[in-house]
Structure 1
Amino acid sequence: MKRLLAALALVGASIAAAVVLGLAGDDVETTPVEPDPALATVPVRRTDLVVTGDLDGSLGFVAADPVVNRLPGTLTDPPEPGTTYVPGDVLYRVDDTPVVLAAGAVPMYRPLSTRSADGRDVEQLERMLVDAGYDPELEVDGDFTAATRDAVRAWQEDLGLDDSGIVELGRIVFVPDPIRVVEVPVAPGAPIGDGTVVATTSTTETKVTALLPGEDQGLLAAGDPVVVELPDGTETPGTVTSVGAVARRTPDGTFFDVEIDLDDPTVGAGLDEAPVTVVFERERAEDVLAVPVTALVALAEGGYAVELVDGDRTRLVAVVPGTFADGLVEVVGELDVGDEVVVP
């Protein structure tokens, strides 16, 4: 409403001489007058009007689970902050022996050997061995067989470990995706025990996070397109991947967490905790007649009109304003595309 009032304040000069008595159908009862040559006019257009909103956000890596050690000893070679580790990499060393990263959703919770009961952790171990080429014919079925033991021995020998065929608890760190080390809270040479956090981590891809005010609940949903404005002013498209189902309270109000993926992830490469602006669609009016907001005339008895050029005269035509966007307003009334209306 404030935008409308501000715009209407500019209109008065163009109609100061018009005394409005009332409406007759769709025309205001006023004598047509010759248009002032100094007045500017614009054509009525048919277009889509989009009202946007914006959110403050942050572009960076998303926090992932920390790396928890299960192999007691001395941390001789810690993970490197800022480094990305993928399955097969040596993540860190305890007593100068390697702790290896492997793919899997189930964390290691027991030693693995031919005495182990079948389980998903065994299946993850077998998949690691097959992917590393130790036994392409090994059946990945969660059953620690003699063939599994032989592949483990070959793997241990290549790592410089005792080739016992038994995988100690903590020798492998299973993670569902590659990780990026953020911080290492333990110094080299420090003793570490079962349960010591040796690294905090993040995902390897950047994501935009933002807070949607509680009063705007429902305006964004997973799959919605947005535009993300980067710190250098670059605008890049993105897609909402999730909107929190439960609001959380902060000192500034109640908000829903929103996560957004950039359509082109390379655009955000090298940025972490960078402030961004997320522009999203609040309202859309499609295929409507529109004129500049400044073309609206506020009538004395209420309502609005536009000053229509009719041949060599002008007359006021009543309109009902609709959606406002980008300096334009949707109008419903006896108007057609191409009609010329006066703007101050």
Structure 2
Amino acid sequence: MTSSPKSRRRVLVGISAIAAASLGVGVVAGSRITSPEDAAAKTAPPSASQITVPAEKKALSSKVVGRGDASFDGAVNIRVETSGLKTPAIVTGKVPAVGATITEGKALLEITGRPVIALAGTLPMYRSLSPGSKGPDVLQLEQTLDRLGFDPGKVDEEYDGDTARAVERLYEAAGYDAPAPDEGLQQAVDGAKKNVDGLKKALRQAQVQLKQAKAAKAKDLTVQQGAVDDAEANLADGRQALNEAEFKAGTPLPVSEIVYVKTLPRRVDKVNVERGGTVNGVVMSASGASLVVTLKVDVQTAEHLKAGMPATLTLGDGSTVAAKVRRMTRNGDNYDVVVAPNKLTAKQIEQLRDANVRVSIPVKSTTGKVLAVPIAAVSSGSDGGARVEVLRNGKIELVPVKVGLSADGYAQVTPTGDATLTEGDQVVVGR
């Protein structure tokens, strides 16, 4: 049976379609058949590549960083010795408010109408002083008067006339009359003055009698001359007694009118008295007028710190304040490091008050910018020396280096020998 051309075309199209379908199946099937070698190649991890960063020029600073509590420096309790008063110790004025500043040479309180003047010193006022007093408390007083510019004369352990006059100037500067001597001492001065006046009169009379005897051309003037000599000697003794009486009646310093505080100025933290009340024990508590921050460090860390080192305080809003290490005090197994801000605004004082803040104290630093790489880039060679790996032109070079200061994750490095390492060189920090 002979097929028509149209029928043959349909058959060929069908065969072509079947062939194409078979080819597609073969391609798909072939793509799913993988040799063991190809499978291993596809599942193996990729070749390791280096992680590099550029060497940099930067200043490095090694720091002690911690957190500290802010407070007003050196709280103390202030007491007034009132045992020398002849009347009840009634507070009559000058009661300070909390937050007020106690200034050296000024009255911090008034008791029975008299001032209690604050002075800086370590030895407490334990007795009244007056001309003739001697001891270390007199020396402290004269040192203080001299420092304040009141000229106590020779600074020693003796309260003399110069000391008394300097005390007068102290009271005058504070705005008060100087203390008066005991009534008995003033009466002694008055009596000595009258005695001197009488002795002067007696001398004049003796001198007149001697003159008259000479005018009468008396042959023996022994009696008249003797009377003049005795009168002169008596007057000299009287004047000496007056000088001693005036010396003893010089300006005293009552124990109840001076309070020594270790350092001044200070801030009043608490007031325990009120006007009209009676002084009994601590009259007020005061701390340093300036805020400080105290942080605790261990003994090993303390070995790297000393007073005078610069520091930085970070406030709650992220701003920073320049400061210095004021002192370090052993406290059990640790050290208390007291850091004082250089200068504070009113806003910063409020931010610091009773706050816990970050403290940073540089203990070592480079002089300007140095060549530095991440610490992770530094490794040890077989000879024990330090080295860094540098990627140059697709190859790794080992560059021996000398390592300097390490800080903030970076190390100062200097290439040794003929090796070169410059800013921008790519150093390997990982793979």
Question: Partner of 2:138: helix, strand, or coil?
Answer: helix
Q: Is the 8 A contact 2:77 2:285 kept in 1?
A: yes
In the other structure, the counterpart of 1:238 is 323
In the other structure, the counterpart of 1:186 is 273
Relative to its length, the structure with more helix (as a share) is: 2
The count of residues paired between Structure 1 and Structure 2 equals 295
Distance in 1, Cα, partners of 2:286 & 2:295: 20
Distance in 2, Cα, partners of 1:121 & 1:92: 23
Task: State the shift of 1:212 in Å.
Answer: 0.7
Distance in 2, Cα, partners of 1:284 & 1:197: 48
Match for residue 170 of structure 1 among 250, 253, 256: 256
Question: Partner of 1:173: helix, strand, or coil?
Answer: strand
Shift in CA distance, 319/288, structure 1 to aligned 2, threshold 3 Å: farther
Q: Deviations along 1:98-134, whole A, 9 cap, x unmatched?
A: 22223444322212223533654377269659968xx
Structure 1 unaligned blocks of 5 or more = 1-14, 19-35, 249-253, 298-303
- Partner amino acid, structure 1, of 2:272: P
Q: Deviations along 1:315-339, whole A, 9 cap, x unmatched?
A: 3648799676445456779652143
In the other structure, the counterpart of 1:205 is 290
Q: Deviations along 1:231-289, whole A, 9 cap, x unmatched?
A: 33222333323223x342xxxxx421112233445695454333221113467688875
Bigger shift: residues 61-70 or 214-223: 214-223
Shift in CA distance, 140/65, structure 1 to aligned 2, threshold 3 Å: farther
In the other structure, the counterpart of 1:25 is none
Query: Greater relative contact order (Cα 8 A, min sep 6): structure 1 or 2?
Result: 1
Shift in CA distance, 140/272, structure 1 to aligned 2, threshold 3 Å: farther
Q: Give RMSD over aligned pairs.
A: 4.6
Q: Is the 8 A contact 1:123 1:140 kept in 2?
A: no
**TM-score normalised by length of structure 2:** 0.54
Task: State the shift of 1:67 in Å.
Answer: 1.2
In the other structure, the counterpart of 1:276 is 357
Q: 2:224 aligned with 1:143, yes or no?
A: no
Distance in 2, Cα, partners of 1:129 & 1:237: 34
- Partner amino acid, structure 2, of 1:169: V
Question: Partner of 2:67: helix, strand, or coil?
Answer: strand
Q: Deviations along 1:4-42, whole A, 9 cap, x unmatched?
A: xxxxxxxxxxx9514xxxxxxxxxxxxxxxxx9xx9864
Distance in 1, Cα, partners of 2:53 & 2:163: 82
Identity level (%): 25
Q: Is the 8 A contact 2:132 2:159 kept in 1?
A: no
Q: Is the 8 A contact 1:45 1:289 kept in 2?
A: yes
- Partner amino acid, structure 1, of 2:254: E
1:78-97 to 2 correspondences below 5 Å: 78-97=95-114
Q: Deviations along 1:152-184, whole A, 9 cap, x unmatched?
A: 49959x636873344322112233532321111
Q: Which structure: larger Rg?
A: 2
In the other structure, the counterpart of 1:222 is 307
Relative to its length, the structure with more strand (as a share) is: 1
In the other structure, the counterpart of 1:10 is none
Shift in CA distance, 51/137, structure 1 to aligned 2, threshold 3 Å: closer
Question: Partner of 1:260: helix, strand, or coil?
Answer: strand
1:103-114 to 2 correspondences below 5 Å: 103-114=120-131
